[in-house]
Each structure stands twice: as structure tokens, then as C-alpha cells.
Structure 1
Amino acid sequence: MTATPYETAWGALGEPWAVAVETTPLPDLKLAHVSETLAATLSLPGLAAGSPALRAVMAGAQPLPGAQPVATVYAGHQFGQFVPQLGDGRAHLIGVHTDAAGARHELQLKGSGPTPFSRFADGRAVLRSSLREYVASEALHALGVPTTRALALGVSSEPVRRERMERAATVLRVAPSFLRFGHFEYWAYRGQLQQLRQLADWAIANWFPQFEGRYADWLGDIIDRTADLIVHWQTLGFCHGVMNTDNMSLLGLTLDYGPYGFLDAYDPGHICNHSDEAGRYAYDQQPHVAHWNCARLLEACLSLLDPDQDRALTTARALLERFPTRFRATAGRAWRTKFGLGEHRDDDDTLMNGFLDLLARGRHDFTTCFRALPDPDRLHDLILDQAALDTWYRQYRDRRDDERADTVAREALQRSANPARVPRNHLLQLAITAAEQDDFAPLSRLMDALSAPYQDADEFADLADLPPAWAAALSVSCSS
């Protein structure tokens, strides 16, 4: 154990990878919500849920004992275009906590003021985007998706201008590491390969010790984690919205919730980010973009694979082929679970795609229809083309029943893959509207409902309803 409750993040590296920078306090910050589950798991010394000390930390007014806030530098491909210097522009790594089991947790305060990497921005986050990130971080964790977590949401009266004047807010984010693909792109672009190797060795020593001295195996593991993550997204109808390489986690976590969204009406080409005019990060493009992003990581790390560039490229190409292979295998299993199918059959893709086509033609709700799959009567209430549904359902029932699996066990497994509730945009907007008036009750209720998303709950039945008509007009962008 350390002599103090917390350590400085990236302390073993320090400059130039991370620079010390103080947070800029926010006035009269209120704790809008605290994740009691995460608080209990972490047991952060001196930071009990709802305590004045936690509020002071959330406001950026009190450093963690033994830790100096730092900001890290990285680069990234943003909408396909390389930006050679980005970095933590409105977030500070305020410390590291090692829990009783020996697991290390980086604590990052977002919205805590400018850093050397703010690029002339104000370093603040607004309530709207902060609440969305806070909810999604904990909701995706409850859904079983690898993700950064969020311990608390703080709201201040300080005005911040985006498209309009909004209230400043902070989120206290938690993850084993916030390392990104872009951290490696930064050093590769500058040709500072010794710094890149030191960063890789540090990352391996801390989070991938089984790959010490084996860079190819390490990169292969990152590719596998990334493919598995995208399978989670696709099968839950989750759209990230900004899959830039600087938003890709080295640990395969969902990172940086901006204009994300869950599919309501099923549309494979759905674009959740109003800023994404070309649809680069549309729902059906996420696997392709993740594959492309892995190529950029391998490109940055070529010097680690072999001093001979031709041999390094040969190794990198072989590693990159792991992505489609891993994705197809993992996705096949995950989709079959959603359909209640245990065994692999050659025509399963045709059968499953037939249901997705049925949803797409009628623009039917993704989450609700999958939850209703075991119940044909409920599906009839949801899907307009009754004749097409009847034809498909007969084929599906015959295929499903041919496995002769225990019905109760099969449906329980199916329910565990098809949530009753997800953080839909209209639910988030209702919570945001109330929070802007210092009413955090809708947020609290939404967090309770999303903490057990696979369980039916009468008290949250309204949060599982189909979205209202006005939800279709909601728009989120890179400022959301």
C-alpha cells in the first residue's frame, strides 16, 4: 500500500507524457447524483458519497491527498483526418486509488478547467453533456458493456456558452486506465520512438503484464478487446457517435460519451451525431471504423514490431486480420443468444437478418422488439406487417424448437441479452430539463431503472415504453 491514500496518475512516467496542472474551481457546485454502487466498490478514502469533501473534489477546489492533478497529451484521427496534438483539454487525472484487492483506479475530473492542451477552449463541460456521460457510463456497465465508469455528477451555476448559455458541470470518471490509441499516435508522428516504447512498456507492465517483451501479442490482445467491444455495441443497438482514434481505449472500454445514442426505430444506417454529416460513424459503420482505427494503432506501433519495416508491416497486416475473424465469431455467438439460439447453423445469419430486415422496413423499435421475441402475441402488437411476421416467426420457431433446449433456461438467457430499458435520448432529455432547474429526481429515478436493465420492473414500466413522437426530433452533436 502507498503511504498516502492516493498517487499521482502517470507518476512513473511524468513529463513529457503528462504535465502537472491545477484544476480551476467551480463556484457553488452541487452534487446532482452519486453512484452509490461504484462508491461502495471503490471505498475512496475521505470521499464518502455526498460528503463535503467529495463535493469539494468535484468542484476542483480540493486535490486528493498525495496526488498532483495532471493532463496527458495525445494525437488522433478525427473524422478520418489526423490531428497531431490533442490531449486532455478539459479533464484532469486527479489521482490513482488502489483498492483493497490491489486493483488500480484512475480518477479523472472532466470539466475541471483549461490545461496546456485545451487549444484556447474554456476547459469546461456543460450540464447537458455531463449528465449524458454520467448516465451512460453507469448504464452501459449495468448492461455488461466494458466502459469507463462515473462516480458522481456535479452542477454549478457558472455559465458556459456552447450553442447557447448553459450551466457548467463536472463528472468524476473512473477507469483502470484512460490510455487511448491517440497516445501512441502522438509519439509516432513526432518520430520520438523511444518515448513511444517507454509508454508501451509502462502500459504493458501495468495492465498487460502477461505480454512483457511481446509487443505483437500485446497489440493482438488490444485488437481482440476492440472487436469484442464493438460486438457489445452492435447487439445492443448502441451508437458511439465519435469513434475518433483519440476516443478508442487501449483496454477495450467504451470511452468519451459525446453524441451517443441507442437505436429507437431500427435503421442500420442511423447517424446519432448531428455533426457527422457524411455518416462516417453511423451504426452499421462502427465495425469498419473500429477495424480502421486498429490499423492506425498498428501503424503507430510499427517500430515495436520489428526494426525492419518490411517485416514489421507483415506482422502488422497479420495482426489486423484478427479483427474481422474475432468480430465475426464473437458477433455470431452474441446475436444467437439474443435470438435464443444455442447451436450454430449455416442458415442462422439469413434467419436473423430476416428479423432485422423486418424491423428496418417498418422502422420498428430495436430494444422493445428484441425483448418481445419469445412472445409472438407481443410482437404482433409491435410490428405492422403481420403476414411477414407470421412467415418469419414460423421459421424462427421451428429453428429454435429444433434444438430441444429447456424453454425456461433458454428464455432466461435470451432476456439476459435483451434489456427492457436503455438510456434513450428522450429519457435523458427529460432528466436534463429537470436538472437545469435543480430538480434531480428524474435523474435519480432513471439511474435506479438503468441499474438492473434486464429485469422487468412495474415501477419503471413507463421508462421501457416506446419513445414519444417528439423524440424523433431530438438531435445531439459533438457539443452534446
Structure 2
Amino acid sequence: MKHTFPDLPLAPRFAALPERFYSQVPSTPLPGPSLIAWNTALADALGLDSQDGGEWTDFLAGNAALTEYPQLASVYSGHQFGVWAGQLGDGRALLVAEIDTPLGIHELQLKGAGQTPYSRRADGRAVLRSSIREYLCSEAMHALGIPTTRALALVASPQPVWRETKETAAVVTRVAPSFLRFGHFEHFHHRDQQDAVRQLADWAIAGFYPECAAAGQPYVALLDAVVERTARLIAAWQAVGFCHGVMNTDNMSLLGLTLDYGPFGFMDGFDAGHVCNHSDERGRYAYDQQPQIGLWNLHCLAQTLLPDIGRDAAIAALSRYQDVFEQHYAELLRQKLGLRQWREDDWELLGTLLTLLQAAHTDWTLFWRRLATLPATGAVPAALRDLVLDRDGFDAWVAAYRARLADDGSTDDAERAARMNAVNPKYVLRNHLAEEAIRAAQRGDHQPLRRLADALARPFDEAPEFEDFAALPPDWARQLSVSCSS
């Protein structure tokens, strides 16, 4: 049976927690809402009965609510850019339903639905620009196989919103099993409310980590599981060249999901020190810093559990992070290189390659896709070789790589290329592609947004109709910058 609004199979889980974890607050109506993007595939997977989502518009805009479910904004705290920021919370996001779906219980959250007790004097709105970016990237990451919150819909409004300039408002409907963050635990720990930390931990174990309940020390097992999920998540980011941009502890998911798409970016030219967030003046969240920031954030989470698990258990759980990260990163790079088995000396092969790519700022996505065209013997394709400035150095690397392919038994060019193309995307959400969709939407033309969303849903396909999305960025793309303003 498929469901539509307001006939939703409600299954309150977060709302069943005591009220100290959230505030009940109604959404602020959005004038003149129009549904400009509807994720039919996700709606079908969730068992929602609608092809175009039109009948949902008022609900998705925050103009209608479920009488059986209170709209909630959760409270949390966190470290922002390494500094304790105190109380934060859902300043413009509202949990408007928890529904039982074929995928399990999922939360529906409206981002941009108006002020809450945690808005900190802000307007509680989201602008069209950032909402388009979040909608597109949530689904792009899902299609890449990277754990993430999802995006069900995007509603636009002519309501003016002031950031650096006047923009217009929008609401994106986010979907996840839970939006629980490290910052939820930090909030209560730093207020000496350890009973609330334990209540959150018990809730998380019951709903998302049931295997931890049977462990001798369930909270230790929970921390260990979150360490593993976080390490694997960030390894996946690194492999695809994704930079989150604002890895504050309040933006870290306890479920190991990519959460809160703000000033993110996929690298164009490879630069290990790439900073995608214009507001990150010191480069704390640069591409090459993401793995260690993940561990730093996990230390903050572990701190909240120390009274219940002890220092030694926390250190033991955290000490697994580096090994898990390296093992998963090696597995992902093995696949990207088209190898069947990873050897310890492959780190040297990879390191040499990254040095060559760094020197040329070689396009990360294009390089890996074109590497699949390299035959095991014979001439190196010019389209591949031209991506690297040090031709002699690259020729030497190719010779070593070919020898490694031979040792690996991966000399069947067609078979290897098929494996590589299944993991090296042709299409990612480059900043200039998002910008083009944003500018068109701001003019009232939503077709470029939908066309780009269609391409990003098939990132590994050879789709001639989307060939323009696979080209090198235009020169004007270098002038684009993204910041925390949204």
C-alpha cells in the first residue's frame, strides 16, 4: 500500500523521548510555495504514493502539518571550527514526521521552515541557492554509494531572505533514519546531565545499533561502531574527492551519514590542501585534514561517554580509527586502480601518482575515468597523458602501474575498464554545474536542475545526453566560492 499526505504510517521514535531533547514548535508558513523538485525514486522506496508530489506541496512547505505528530526542533551543542560553541540546535529545521517505510522508520525534516527556539536570532529560513545544492548533493552522494541523508523534495517561494544580498526562500525535505549528531551527546554531557547522555545512547542502540545491546559493555560497543562508520565514511569522501567544508561536531552523524550540506565541494583539480569553504580561513577542514578531523570529532563524542565507559575503553575504541580508515581507503583505491588485490607496496604506487596529480592540479574525476582507457600494453592515450604536466614522470608511473596490473592478473582491458568505470564516476556535482542550475532556477527555469539531478542519479553511466556534465570546468568556475552563508 502506498501512502499520501496526510495518510502517513506514523511511527514516533524520536518524539517518544522526553521533551528535554527537543521543543515543539510550529513551522512558519511560506508564501506562494511551488514544488520545483520531487524525488520520485525515493518517494517510491519510502512507499509514498505520488508521481509528481504536487499534492504534498503545502506539507513540504511547512504550510500544513500532521495533527497526530508534533513538529519538533531538537537541541544540541557542539564544537565549531575546533571551539566550543555551546548550545546550538535545529535553528531552521523541523522534524515533521516519523514514518514506517519499506526502508524502516525514517524521519522527515523540513530545512528552512522558520524560526525555532534555537535559531539564535536568525530568520530560520534557507535560501534557494543552498537548498538546491543540498537537494542535488544528497542524491548525488547516494548514487555514488556514500552514506548520506536523502532529499525528497524542494519547495521554492518568492519570499525575500537577506544574506549577503537579497535572495529568495526555499525548503528542502530531508530524509534519514535519524538526524542524531555527536552534538546531541555533547549538549547534555557539558551540562552535567549524564543521565540524558545514557538515555540517548540507549535510544541509539535500540534503534540503530541493536548488536551493541548484547555486548558486555553496550556503550563501548556503540562508540566502537560509530568509530568504524565514521572512518569508512570519510575514506569514501577522500576517494571521490568530496570536501564537506564544515566538519563541526554538530554536523557529524551518529549513524555515519553525510550530514548538513553547506559549503561542500567536489575537487576539480587535485590539491591535497584544497579548502572548499571560503569561511574556513585557516583551512581546518581542508581535504587532507578531513581524516584527522573525523578522529578529533570522535574524541569529542568519546568524552561524553567517559563517565560510563572509562578512559581505557575509550582510547581502545578510538585507536581503531586509523586502521579502519586506511583499510577502507585502500580498498576503495584498489578498485579505482582496477586491481583485484591490494599489496602493501601499492601505497608507494599511489603516493607517486598523487604527487604527479598534485603538481599538475589534474582534474580528479576526469583522471580516474580516463585511467580506465589505458591499455595494458601499447601507447598511452593522449587524453589521459595530457592531464599530467610531468610527462616523463607519468610515463615511468604508467610502466610501474602496468607491471602491477600484470602481477595482479588484470590485463584484460575491457574487463578491467568495466570494473573501474563502475567505481570511478563520470558525473559529480561540480560547483559550476550547481551554479548553472541555481542561476536558471533563480530565473524561474527549473529544467536544468531536474536534468542535472537525472545525470547525478547515474554517475557511472556513459550517457551521451549528459556529456556536457563530464567536461572540464570552464574558466569562470575558478571564481566561484562557497561559504557558511545559506
- TM-score under structure 1 normalisation? 0.95
Alpha carbons of 1:479 and 1:420: their partners in 2 closer, same or farther (altered >3 Å)? same
Bigger mean CA deviation after superposition, 50-59 or 174-183: 50-59
The residue identity in structure 2 corresponding to 1:467 is: P
Structure 1, unpaired ranges of 5+ = 306-311
- Distance of 1:177 and 1:255 partners within structure 2: 10
- Distance of 1:137 and 1:255 partners within structure 2: 9
- Distance of 2:341 and 2:252 partners within structure 1: 33
For residue 403 of structure 1, report the CA deviation from its aligned partner.
1.3
Aligned 8 A contact 1:225 1:251 in 2: yes
Aligned 8 A contact 2:45 2:102 in 1: no
For residue 9 of structure 1, report the CA deviation from its aligned partner.
5.5
2:308 to 298, 304, 308: 304
- Aligned residue in 2 for 1:215: 219
Matches within 5 A, 1:66-145: 66-100=68-102, 103-145=104-146
The residue identity in structure 1 corresponding to 2:363 is: D
For residue 346 of structure 1, report the CA deviation from its aligned partner.
2.7
Are residue 478 (structure 1) and residue 481 (structure 2) matched? no
Are residue 380 (structure 1) and residue 381 (structure 2) matched? no
- Aligned residue in 1 for 2:439: 433
Bigger mean CA deviation after superposition, 277-286 or 334-343: 334-343
Task: Tell me the SS of whatever aligns to 1:38.
Answer: helix
- Aligned residue in 2 for 1:357: 355
- Distance of 1:473 and 1:89 partners within structure 2: 30
Aligned 8 A contact 1:125 1:169 in 2: yes
- Aligned residue in 1 for 2:24: 20
Aligned 8 A contact 2:372 2:416 in 1: no
For residue 40 of structure 1, report the CA deviation from its aligned partner.
1.0
Matches within 5 A, 1:298-337: 298-305=302-309, 312-337=310-335
The residue identity in structure 2 corresponding to 1:6 is: L
For residue 350 of structure 1, report the CA deviation from its aligned partner.
1.1
Task: Tell me the SS of whatever aligns to 2:115.
Answer: coil
The residue identity in structure 1 corresponding to 2:218 is: R
Are residue 10 (structure 1) and residue 14 (structure 2) matched? yes
Q: How far does the alpha carbon of each residue in 1:408-430 deviate from its partner, in whole angstroms, 9 at most, with x for none?
A: 33322211221001000000000
- Aligned residue in 2 for 1:345: 343
Q: How far does the alpha carbon of each residue in 1:354-389 deviate from its partner, in whole angstroms, 9 at most, with x for none?
A: 111111101110000111112230312322332222
Task: Tell me the SS of whatever aligns to 1:83.
Answer: strand
Identical positions, percent: 50
- Distance of 2:306 and 2:356 partners within structure 1: 45
Alpha carbons of 1:271 and 1:13: their partners in 2 closer, same or farther (altered >3 Å)? same
For residue 10 of structure 1, report the CA deviation from its aligned partner.
1.5
Aligned 8 A contact 1:105 1:175 in 2: yes
Task: Tell me the SS of whatever aligns to 1:19.
Answer: strand
Q: How far does the alpha carbon of each residue in 1:302-347 deviate from its partner, in whole angstroms, 9 at most, with x for none?
A: 1221xxxxxx011111111010111111111111111112222232
Alpha carbons of 1:4 and 1:449: their partners in 2 closer, same or farther (altered >3 Å)? closer
Are residue 424 (structure 1) and residue 424 (structure 2) matched? no
Q: Cα RMSD over matched residues? A: 1.6
- Aligned residue in 2 for 1:371: 369
The residue identity in structure 1 corresponding to 2:151 is: A
Task: Tell me the SS of whatever aligns to 1:172.
Answer: strand
- Aligned residue in 1 for 2:376: none
Task: Tell me the SS of whatever aligns to 1:372.
Answer: helix
- Aligned residue in 2 for 1:455: 461
Are residue 197 (structure 1) and residue 198 (structure 2) matched? yes
The residue identity in structure 1 corresponding to 2:100 is: T
- Aligned residue in 1 for 2:407: 402
The residue identity in structure 1 corresponding to 2:136 is: V
Aligned 8 A contact 1:139 1:423 in 2: yes
Matches within 5 A, 1:194-273: 194-212=195-213, 214-273=218-277
The residue identity in structure 1 corresponding to 2:386 is: D
- Aligned residue in 1 for 2:188: 187
Are residue 468 (structure 1) and residue 474 (structure 2) matched? yes
Task: Tell me the SS of whatever aligns to 2:386.
Answer: helix
Aligned 8 A contact 2:35 2:54 in 1: no
Aligned 8 A contact 1:266 1:359 in 2: yes
Aligned 8 A contact 1:108 1:173 in 2: yes
Bigger mean CA deviation after superposition, 248-257 or 402-411: 402-411
- Distance of 1:121 and 1:7 partners within structure 2: 31
Task: Tell me the SS of whatever aligns to 1:402.
Answer: helix
Q: How far does the alpha carbon of each residue in 1:200-242 deviate from its partner, in whole angstroms, 9 at most, with x for none?
A: 1111111111111611011100000000000100000000000
Task: Tell me the SS of whatever aligns to 2:64.
Answer: coil
1:445 to 446, 451, 470: 451
- Distance of 1:122 and 1:14 partners within structure 2: 27
Q: How far does the alpha carbon of each residue in 1:42-68 deviate from its partner, in whole angstroms, 9 at most, with x for none?
A: 1236xx243443100121111135211
Task: Tell me the SS of whatever aligns to 1:16.
Answer: helix
Are residue 389 (structure 1) and residue 433 (structure 2) matched? no
State how many pairs are aligned.
471
Alpha carbons of 1:456 and 1:89: their partners in 2 closer, same or farther (altered >3 Å)? same
- Distance of 1:252 and 1:4 partners within structure 2: 27
Aligned 8 A contact 1:6 1:64 in 2: no
The residue identity in structure 2 corresponding to 1:56 is: D
- Aligned residue in 2 for 1:155: 156
Task: Tell me the SS of whatever aligns to 2:20.
Answer: coil
Structure 2, unpaired ranges of 5+ = 374-379
Task: Tell me the SS of whatever aligns to 2:339.
Answer: coil
For residue 5 of structure 1, report the CA deviation from its aligned partner.
2.5
- Aligned residue in 2 for 1:175: 176
Task: Tell me the SS of whatever aligns to 2:299.
Answer: helix
- Distance of 1:385 and 1:303 partners within structure 2: 55
1:294 to 293, 298, 305: 298
Bigger mean CA deviation after superposition, 356-365 or 62-71: 62-71
Alpha carbons of 1:350 and 1:28: their partners in 2 closer, same or farther (altered >3 Å)? same
The residue identity in structure 2 corresponding to 1:293 is: N
Task: Tell me the SS of whatever aligns to 2:121.
Answer: coil
